[in-house]
Amino acid sequence: MSPVFIDSNVILYLLSGDPAKADRAEAIMGEGGIISVQVLNEVTSVCLRKLKMSWEEIDVVLLAVKAACDVVALTVESHAKAVEISRHYQLSFYDAHICASAILSDAEAVFSEDMQNGMKVDGMLIRNPFI
């Protein structure tokens, strides 16, 4: 079984006031997976701006995420793939870059609440793990 790619919105539910979604996000993270530097950037931004967390608190979150997941870099290749996906599937560029990173990492699926559940992008499945 191939690993899954985890979108930032799933990770951020670890910090949610919704216990069911927080528990599900914790279970997903416990199984491990793949993320990209983009996911780390998005988590950092939300923690800082929306959640008003201190840098010390953000460091704890990021260390936990990096310990649980394999992190892949953003590359010229992932950028080109994201442009192709965004153009072909009409996804936002940032969602397309999540998909591109997942595809280039040989992930079987992307876990995301923000994209269309059940959609296939170049054969890779998008799954909403909260349904």
Please give the domain boundaries of the chain with CATH numbers for all domains.
Answer: 4-121 (3.40.50.1010)
The tokens describing 97, both together, are 């870059």
Taking the C-alpha atoms of residue 33 and residue 3, their distance in angstroms, rounded to an integer, is 6
pLDDT, tens digit, for every residue of 25-43? Answer: 999 999 999 999 999 999 9
Secondary element (H or E) of residue 22 = helix 19-31
Q: What is the pTM of this model?
A: 0.95
pLDDT, tens digit, for every residue of 56-115? Answer: 999 999 999 999 999 999 999 999 999 999 999 999 999 999 999 999 999 999 999 999
Angstrom CA distances, 14 to 23, 25, 61, 120, stand at: 7, 6, 9, 26
Taking the C-alpha atoms of residue 62 and residue 118, their distance in angstroms, rounded to an integer, is 29
| pLDDT given for residue 1 in this prediction | 55
